RNA sequence: UGAGUAUCCUAGACAAUCGCUCCCGGCCAAGUACGGCGCAGGGGGAGGAACUUCCGGACUCCACAGGGCAGUGCGCCGUUCGAAAGGACGGAAGGACGGGGCCAUAUCCCCGUUCGAUGGAAAGUGCAACAGAAAGCAAACCGCCCGCAAGGGUAAGGGUGAAAGGGUGCGGUAAGAGCGCACCGCAUGUACGGCAACGUACAUGGCACGGUAAACCCCGCAUGGAGCAAGGCCAAGCCGGUCCACAGGAGCCCGCCUUCGUGACCAAGUAGGCCGCUUAGAGAAAUGAUUGUUACAACGCAAGUUGACAGAAUCCGGGGUAUUGGAUACUUUAUAA
RNA sequence: UCCGGGAUGGUGUAAUGGUAACACGAAUGUCUCUGGAACAUUAAUUCUAGGUUCGAAUCCUAGUCCCGGAA
């Protein structure tokens, strides 16, 4: 059963969660994206995700569109990640995220940096590299 | 053909797959409740400006004997829509521009277009740089006149300024002056027209009354303050309280004692949750992604590429601003015939 | 969402409705063997557009942008 959805339990909600991830997590940057990663207190729970968009990025239409694109990109790549991790993503410019493909590529590079991929996927990548 | 103004319409369509959110009644499902990357089905899911936060209201809380002052806002007239703000139509005075007229000039008259927050300067106070003699109960620098001079008279002329204490002409005079007269302007009164703002005519006066109130102010009218992050309800933990319980630990003067602990209960209320909240109605905040067919427009030889401004957060009414395509009416520039 | 405040040289600040001022910085020149210092000069659509006024950075109206507060 493919789990392609993005339900309520896979998103970060409270201000406590945001403070915990941003202050206690690792910070990574690539391709106009900033990502904070932090392990969840309960390690077997789902991967949780959130997007933060500042007003400097543009008017409400631009902000909503970047949020939706990033959320769609995360929805597609969610099953390939390890469990029990909280992620916050903040785009720095809307011009680099005009399509879903661009957003997904940026997310994948950041996953690789953070070492979040599932072991099976990692093995495949290592095999190809060798 | 280009540009602009006003009013009205529009804001591509259909299908498939994946996904989000809310609602409905079912199933997992059991006595109740919690709960779900739950299951399948049905239905709803951004705008004309949702933008701005410039006005007004609903709603909520706070304050409040009665009256007044202060503060703040508004300000031509009539009709009309509206809860109000505001809008629509018509009119009046005024400003600007253009054209014309009086022999000519004026702060004069007429016509057209257009603008507009348009009560009061005859209650009081203030302000007016520089220049200029003088900037407001007038005043004499040059000039003119009288005079030997001292001094006096004089606002016609010069020059300054945004503005110089009615304009033109004639008379008058030592020179001049509303000093007198005619016309115009102004003021007062009367009559007439008009619902009114106001206009017209006549008489009188003889210039008194310069500008500025989007300066203070005066007059008239209106007006409590804050805002859904308003406000209300439930409520862990910590702290606090109890004439409750234990016969749990410690103390001694051995008690209906003190103290500690545990539990129970209570008040207030933090985290948090719920209501407020909606036939879109969320709560780090949904309305999205991909693909196909197709309509219109622009660009391009073609294949093809591109698709305005912009995203609800308590709701409603208006103003303003941004903007795609079109329709109607009007104005206007240039070119051609 | 609801409120409040602001915009003046490159930067930070002044300025009763009447010549846009000061400091630092920048550029150019003088001085010096060279540099520094010093001296002189230059650079402003007072956020934008209308209006009131003889005259607007200032007053009024509308817009643009920025900053702050309220759980």
- Residue burial A86-104, b: 16+ Cβ < 10 Å; e: rest: bbbbbbeebeebeeeebbb
Tokens of A19: 């403070």
Any atom of strand B under 7 A from CB of A83?
no
Domains of chain A: residue spans and CATH: 8-129 (3.30.230.10)
CA distance A75 to A61: 21
pLDDT score recorded for residue A12 = 76
pLDDT score recorded for residue A126 = 35
Phi, psi of A48 (to 5 degrees): -110, 150
Closest CA to A38 of A107, A65, A47, A80: A47
> Contact, A106 vs A32, CB < 8 A?
yes
CA distance A28 to A61: 26
pLDDT score recorded for residue A128 = 31
Rounded distance in angstroms from the CA atom of residue A28 to the C1' atom of nucleotide C6 = 37
Question: What's the pTM?
Answer: 0.72
Helix (H, G, I), strand (E, B) or coil at A124: helix
Strand B nucleotides where any atom sits below 7 Å of a protein CB: 18-21, 36-38, 46, 272-273, 283-290, 310-312
Looking up tokens 């939706």, which residue turns up?
A68
**ipTM (interface predicted TM):** 0.72
User: Tens-digit pLDDT profile for chain A (130 aa)?
Assistant: 345 667 777 777 777 777 777 777 788 887 778 888 887 666 556 778 888 887 777 778 888 888 888 888 888 887 777 777 888 888 877 666 777 777 888 888 888 887 776 654 443 333 333 2
Any atom of strand B under 7 A from CB of A59?
yes
């Amino acid at each position: 059963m493919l789990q392609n959805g993005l339900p309520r339990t896979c998103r970060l909600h409270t201000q406590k969660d945001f403070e915990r991830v941003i202050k206690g997590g690792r910070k990574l940057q690539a391709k106009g994206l900033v990502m904070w990663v932090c392990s969840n207190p309960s390690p077997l729970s789902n991967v949780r995700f959130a997007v933060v968009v500042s007003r400097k990025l543009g008017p409400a239409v631009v902000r909503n569109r970047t949020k939706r694109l990033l959320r769609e990109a995360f929805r597609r790549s969610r099953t390939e990640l390890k469990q029990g991790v909280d992620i916050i993503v903040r785009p720095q410019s809307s011009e680099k995220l005009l399509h879903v493909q661009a957003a997904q590529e940026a997310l994948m590079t950041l996953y690789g940096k953070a070492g979040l991929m599932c072991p099976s996927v990692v093995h495949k990548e290592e095999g190809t590299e060798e």
